[in-house]
Amino acid sequence: MASTQRILLLNGPNLNLLGQREPEVYGTATLADHVQAATQAAQELGFSVESKQSNSSSELVQAIHVARGTASAIIINPGAFTHYAWSIHDALASFDGVVIEVHLSNPSTREPWRHESVVAPVSDGSIAGFGGLGYVLAVQAVARLLAR
């Protein structure tokens, strides 16, 4: 029997503060709430989820390296690293599986510096502006893309 396929769920800087500040932008749910919803959706589709949040780009790069060979997909909300962290771009480019970029808000409708994503060019797709639903939609996208 094939082993359960693993999804690495990564969240970047300051997302550990979700639910504590700026609810008008990011909602009232905590990161733990989002991870739980994504994990439940993944389990229903036959996947397991490993979740990591870090405020350090090097830790996120390291987690992506570990995912090479151990995970079938990466779902990543890189936080502000989205807009300038070429190290995360390069690490994701080295990952052979499915990559989905998620944002709670819609960066395209916000300040101009948020309009560029250096992660989007190395992602299979990006989901933005749906709040926490984005993580669940990303899990569903992973399942569909891996079933092709």
Q: Which residues are catalytic?
A: 26, 103
Phi, psi angles (nearest 5°) of residue 126: -125, 140
Site string for ligand CA2, 87-106 (x = CB under 6 A): ----------------xxx-
Q: Is position 68 an interface residue for ligand CA2 (rule: CB under 6 A)?
A: no
Task: Please identify, among the stretches 12-20, 36-44, 52-60, 63-71, the one whose residues bind ligand CA2 according to the rule CB under 6 A.
Answer: 12-20
- DSSP conformation letters of 48-95: EEEEEE-S-HHHHHHHHHHHTTT-SEEEEE-GGGGGT-HHHHHHHHT-
Query: What is the layout of strands, in order, in the sheet containing 125-128?
Result: 47-53, 5-11, 73-77, 98-103, 125-128
Nearer residue to ligand CA2 within complex by CB, 40 or 106: 106
Looking at 7, 8, 26, 142, which residue binds ligand CA2 (CB under 6 A)? Answer: 26
Q: Is position 32 an interface residue for ligand CA2 (rule: CB under 6 A)?
A: no
Tokens of 83: 């807009």
Looking at 4, 22, 44, 56, which residue binds ligand CA2 (CB under 6 A)? Answer: 22
Give kind and range of the element (H or E) at residue 135: helix 133-146
Residue keyed to tokens 């300040």: 111
Q: Is position 79 an interface residue for ligand CA2 (rule: CB under 6 A)?
A: yes
Q: Which residues bind ligand CA2 (CB under 6 A)?
A: 14-15, 17-18, 20-22, 26, 77, 79-80, 82, 103-105, 107, 114
